[in-house]
Amino acid sequence: MIDPRTPFDSVPEAFDRWRPRYCDELFDCVAASAALGPGRRSLEIGPGTGQATEFALKTGADCTAIELGANLASVCERKFSRYPNFHLIRGDFATYPFEPNSFDLVYSAATIQWIGEDIAYPRCRDILRPGGTLAMFLLRSDYKTPNPALYADIQKVYDEFFHSELPYTRRFNYENAGAWGFGGMERRVFPVRRIYTADEYVEYIGTHSDHICLKPEFRKPFYDGIHAAIERHGGHLEMAGEFVLYLWKKLSFIPLREKPEMLVPAAEWFHEKWHVPTEAYLKCMRAYLDQKTEYGWYLCLDGERIVGGLGVIENDFHDRKDLTPNVCAVYTEEDYRCRGIAGHLLKLAVEDLRGRGVSPLYLLTDHTGFYERYGWEFFCMAQGDGEEKKSRMYVHR
């Protein structure tokens, strides 16, 4: 089976000539979102021959690109080796052993869809620093609207002669990064218009993976048919379209000690969710910040917005005073649920406290089947203060 990422490497020169150059306005948005500049680090996934590489280099950031195709990599290296801040890895993004939390920006110019969401999004999340930017952009083309009659004729050619050994079947949802630990999506659109002669258009579509893999017996009649159709309609094809940019931010999972300025906003946020007096939260949190206790408070941030959190206290208002300390106040904002945020927070709290010699942890809940996902075990039933029925006590050892 053909790896759908590899056909481009057979046409490096044509790829370099015909693949779209993105606009400066798009690049400015990416650079601003990631605050690119000296001291910052970026990673480009699959640069090809560098259609979206130089803007990052010109910011002075430390720029790494990883390219699977040997021929494409050679062209890219030749073009940008003059930049001391350019580093090229010849390898596979899906498997390369990047250090976690090492980049301020990870970006893709119409390449990430070849990897798949289940691999691409977790990999990007893991190697981005907290609050880092994931930028994905692509060209969406439309030649039907400007040339309806020509479009109809070209479709006839496709119907008769387009038989590829690698049909394009990729489905990548650029708006689904929120399910993998990202937030704050921005979508921006930049109109673009291009005009091709018949020769130029044939060369351009010849750089598409499914066209590169046309069955040999159909190649000549297909391209001759496309060329003839354009010539019959005035000798040129107008392409309307848009560059579409998706910007996401990696959610930050932090102990409150890493961002003590969030003390009051955090106390107010927990009060809003659980209706325990703000002053009670402030008292616990100040004790933690002042090193009077190791029982901590943990937040998930989307930028400066708290979207999830939990705390650890001596006793979460129940009769088993011997089972301590307790995770409490676990909450995720409704519009951020089903993204694994609670699991990340629980893991952070367990690992942070274990590193400080505090283990096991206990947790009182009425949920069944939720905490088991994250390594918690049912331990016993316990009577909550003022509750008619007992609740379930879990332990994480």
The reported pLDDT for the residue numbered 161 is 97
The reported pLDDT for the residue numbered 352 is 97
pLDDT < 50 stretches in the chain = none
Instruction: Report pLDDT digits (tens) over 166-200.
Output: 887 778 999 999 888 898 899 999 999 999 999 99
The reported pLDDT for the residue numbered 257 is 98
Query: pTM, whole model, 2 decimals?
Result: 0.83
The reported pLDDT for the residue numbered 31 is 98
Instruction: Report pLDDT digits (tens) over 309-332.
Output: 999 999 999 999 999 999 999 999
Instruction: Report pLDDT digits (tens) over 386-395.
Output: 999 999 999 9
* Start-to-end C-alpha separation, the chain: 46
* Matching CATH number, 7-250, of 3.40.50.1580, 3.40.50.300, 1.10.1270.20, 3.40.50.150: 3.40.50.150
Please check whether residue 211 is in contact with residue 205, taking contact to mean a CB–CB distance below 8 angstroms: yes
The reported pLDDT for the residue numbered 3 is 84
Is 252-396 assigned to CATH 3.40.640.10? no
Question: Distance (Å, rounded) from C-alpha 379 to C-alpha 69?
Answer: 53
Percent of the chain at pLDDT > 90 equals 92
Percent of the chain at pLDDT > 70 equals 100
Every domain of the chain and the residues it spans: 7-250, 252-396
The reported pLDDT for the residue numbered 61 is 98
The reported pLDDT for the residue numbered 181 is 87
Structure tokens at 177: 């990064």
The reported pLDDT for the residue numbered 245 is 98
The reported pLDDT for the residue numbered 4 is 80
Strand stretches in the chain, DSSP E: 41-45, 62-67, 86-90, 103-109, 128-142, 182-197, 236-250, 252-255, 297-302, 305-313, 326-332, 361-365, 377-383, 390-396
The reported pLDDT for the residue numbered 315 is 97
